Amino acid sequence: MSRRILTIVPLLFAGACIDPNGDEDGDGLTNAEEQELGTDWKIADSDGDGYSDGEEIGYGLDPLDPTSGPYEGGWPRQTLAMKDEIENGRKSGSEIDVGKRFPRVRMVDQFGEVVDLYDFVGHGKKVVIDIAAEWCGPCNGLAAWLDGDDVYDLPKDARKAVANGDVYWLTVLGENNDGDAASKKTSKDWHKAYPNPNIPVLADEDADTVQYVLSVTNGWPSVVMVNDSMTVVEFAGGVGADFMQLVADEYTGGGGDE
Ligand SMILES: [Ca+2]
Ligand SMILES: [Ca+2]
Ligand SMILES: [Ca+2]
């Protein structure tokens, strides 16, 4: 036991003896861990980006780099541990099916940031993955409808659920107007046309995710609902009222009537 005390002695903080196992700033990292990392043991958020040092380590971010903090779009983050647990817990299979795990993918969003699909797990929300192409009329129609334009007769609570944050709606673009693979520019242009602040617009540059869904649904757009551990709940080709009713059912109220 006395041997252990000896190892503590070299840990001097600003000339004072501080308990290396303590967490002075309550950020989830011990004082000793903070000294090791070079983060400030008296300030919870060393780089001032809104995420504490402990959160950043959990998310796999750099606690000393304010640009590796929250997504510019404000999308949620999830810990690496939970994302890995869900990814490794179950096989996803080669094509989409109800009850299977939707594969973990990383795609670039409308702000040019690489977004991990699994940052949306574990927040108690259903996630809708909307597979779209820039050239596709009904895909554009659905985006317009979500933005409040009544181009389709669909349950309006569905878009209220998206606006209210009751579901996470993600648009995944597979192709641009020329029918080529979507890029960062395609996402940016789509967001400019449909500037919905709640919807990440992700470019599926290698078309893996699009193929995973469209090989079964055979049509643009296709929509997939997964639960908060990425298990497929329902999926459909086209813009159907039945699917949108499932989204509407997630609406918790608030925000008033349209
Ligand atoms: Ca600390
Ligand atoms: Ca700290
Ligand atoms: Ca921080």
pLDDT, tens digit, 9 for 90 and up, residues 45-95: 999 999 999 999 999 999 999 888 889 999 999 999 999 999 999 888 889
pTM: 0.87
What lies within 8 Å, CB to CB, of 161 at 6+ separation is 167, 247, 248, 250, 251, 252
CA 18 from chain center: how many Å?
Answer: 38
In angstroms, the CA 196 to CA 177 distance is 20
Task: Say what the pLDDT of residue 18 is.
Answer: 82
pLDDT of 247 > 50? The answer is yes
Model confidence pLDDT, tens digit, residues 185-240: 999 999 999 999 999 999 999 999 999 999 999 999 999 999 999 999 999 999 89
Share of the chain above pLDDT 70, in %: 92
What is the Å distance from ligand 2's center to 21 Cα? Answer: 13
Q: How far is 4 from 216, CA to CA, in rounded Å? A: 61
**Rounded Cα–Cα distance for residues 65 and 57 (Å):** 12
CA of 71 to the centre of ligand 2 (A): 21
Ligand closest to 37 (CA) is: 2
Q: From the CA of 43, which ligand is nearest?
A: 2
Span from the CA of 189 to the centroid of ligand 2 (angstroms)? 39
Question: What is the Å distance from ligand 1's center to 83 Cα?
Answer: 24
pLDDT value at position 5?
47
Q: What would the pLDDT profile of 160-186 be if each residue is shown by its tens digit?
A: 999 999 999 999 999 999 999 999 999
For residue 145, name the pLDDT band (cuts at 50, 70, 90): very high
Total Cβ atoms within 10 A of residue 32: 19
53: CA distance to ligand 1 center in Å? Answer: 7
Q: Which domains does the chain have, with CATH numbers?
A: 2-68 (no CATH), 81-248 (3.40.30.10)
Interval between CA 42 and ligand 3 midpoint (Å) = 13
Tell how far the Cα of 191 is from the centroid of ligand 1, in angstroms. 39
Mean pLDDT for the chain overall: 92
Task: Report how far ligand 3's centroid is from the alpha carbon of 61 (Å).
Answer: 9
pLDDT at residue number 130: 98
Burial class (CB in 10 A: 0-12, 13-18, 19+), 142: buried
Report helix, strand or coil for 5.
Answer: helix
Cis ω on the peptide bond leading into residue 10 (within 30° of 0)? no
Contact 126, 224 (CB under 8 A): no
Q: Which ligand is nearest to the CA of 40?
A: 2
Ligand nearest to the CA of 55: 3
Which one, of 113, 85, 112, lies nearest residue 101 by Cα?
85
* Å from CA of 46 to ligand 3 middle: 5
